[in-house]
Amino acid sequence: MNKIWLIIKREYSVRVRKKSFIIMTIVTPILLGLLIFAPSYLSSISSEFDQEERKNIAIVEQDSFFSDRLINSYHLKFIQIPESEKEIIKDNFEESSFHAIVEIIDANTINIISEKQISKVTSKEIESKIYQIQEKQNYKDANIDIQLLNTLSPQISFNSIILTDNGGETISNYEVKSVLSFVFGFLIYIFIFMYGSLVMRGVIEEKTNRIVEVIISSVKPFQLLLGKIIGVALVGFTQFVLWIVLSLLVANIAEVSFMERNQTGIFETMNNLLQNIDILSLSIYFLFYFIGGYLLYSSFFACIGAAVDNESDTQQMILPLTIPLILSLSMIEAIINNPDGQLAFWMSIFPLSSPIVMMVRLPFGGVESWELLLSFCILILTFLFTTWISSRIYRIGILMYGKKASLKELIRWIKFKS
């Protein structure tokens, strides 16, 4: 046990001191913060700039039907111009005071002319106003009372209510739960690949530098494999915790910026969105399945690293390993549509897909305790079995040089008795 601890300590200390680890730990939350908050922030700035200047929209029509009914807004001012001025404005758009020309051919054909692509917000506002004017006129021509028609339109509010275990009721938040499912599933996928590949590259590096020949003289291959897997797992856990802390710091900075602009705070918005969702329990489950999924797949990655001499030879071996993960990721939408179906159940029990699929199911609730226990027990038992298999390949492959092992050789290594 002491030897395994020394290997864990070595793997952990070597990796957390690397510049790449420090840079990625600091930079990733900042980049995520920019990705999440920057579009909203820039959009608010853009809106303020847009509001500073009211856009003049020229209306060209044979009569004044639409011109008399178009109501100016905070953003747009509608001005009817003679047909003769249309060509003059088109030839000198930059010098004119108009942002666009709305040419009304008839009630069914309307052209919006501009020198540059106008914004979607502007075009939608113009189209909406003209559509409403024509719609009211159509009702009037058909002798339909618009006020009566409005009173006949049903005003129904649908609430999806879910019964809780203690007999209470809670309002479903399907959209937010769907987003959480995608986020959890994708993060599990990324973390398994990111940290699993670290184990594989570490094994290949030790083989290439012949360091392992010295190490293997002091410890058993199984001890070296287990120490390496756990050591990298602790590196991942450390980085994960630091990401959470730094993300909260970035969110606090963004919160101050949003509040200064008289916008709804980020934490207030998040609290509103995550109402009726047990985010603490989901975070704990995420940690369990992140660790379980990593342990399972990292044993495979270590086995692949031991069976090859360089990273370029790993591609063919990694492909079969990635199929369950890619399939799980591609099935997220189907699982969200029916989180309690047979497909969702069996994929959340099967160990190679359970880390992703179970985390997709959990935000929607309805997962029984025995399902969670069965899924996690099978995941851990499979990890122990695959680690034993991998260690048998690892003990021989770690000292093999010069060629990539075939499937027959791998099977022979597993059966070999030392």
pLDDT of the residue at 349: 93
Q: Could you say which residues of the chain have pLDDT below 50?
A: 48-49, 51-52, 262
As a whole number of angstroms, the distance between CA 335 and CA 186 comes to 14
CA 173 to chain centre: 18
Which two structure tokens, joined as six digits, stand for 305?
């690293």
> Quick one: tokens of 381?
């038992």
Map the chain to HEC letters: CHHHHHHHHHHHHHHHCCHHHHHHHHHHHHHHHHHHHHHHHHHHHHHHHHHHCCEEEEEECCCCHHHHHCCCCCCEEEEECCHHHHHHHHHCCCCCCEEEEEEEEECCEEEEECCCCCCHHHHHHHHHHHHHHHHHHHHHHCCCCHHHHHHHCCCCCCCCEEECCCCCEEECCHHHHHHHHHHHHHHHHHHHHHHHHHHHHHHHHHHHCCHHHHHCCCCCHHHHHHHHHHHHHHHHHHHHHHHHHHHHHHHHHHHHHHHHCCCCCHHHHHHHHCCCCCHHHHHHHHHHHHHHHHHHHHHHHHHHHHHCCCHHHHHHHHHHHHHHHHHHHHCHHHHHHCCCCHHHHHHHHCCCCHHHHHHHHHHHCCCCHHHHHHHHHHHHHHHHHHHHHHHHHHHHHCCCCCCCCCHHHHHHHHHCCC
| CB of 96 closer than 8 Å to CB of 57 | no
Question: What is the Rg, in whole angstroms, of the alpha carbon atoms belonging to the chain?
Answer: 31
| Pair of tokens at residue 35 | 């990705």
Total Cβ atoms within 10 A of residue 371: 15
- Give the number of other Cβ atoms within 10 Å of residue 45's Cβ: 11
Per-residue pLDDT at 187? 86
Residue 418 near residue 395, CB atoms below 8 Å? yes
- Is residue 363 within 8 Å of 277, Cβ to Cβ? yes
**Token pair of 88, please?**
């003059």
Side-by-side strand order, sheet with 109-113:
76-80, 55-60, 98-106, 109-113
Residue extents of the structural domains in the chain: 55-147, 175-415
CATH number of 55-147: 3.40.50.920, 3.40.190.10, 3.40.50.2300, 2.60.120.10? Answer: 3.40.190.10
Q: pLDDT by residue (tens digit) across 343-390?
A: 989 999 999 999 999 988 888 877 888 999 999 999 989 888 887 887
Both tokens assigned to 400: 């093999």
Task: Give the residues across from 102 on adjacent strands.
Answer: 59, 112
Residues 6+ apart with CB under 8 A from 140: 146
Q: Burial-class residue 28 by CB neighbours within 10 Å (0-12, 13-18, 19+).
A: middle
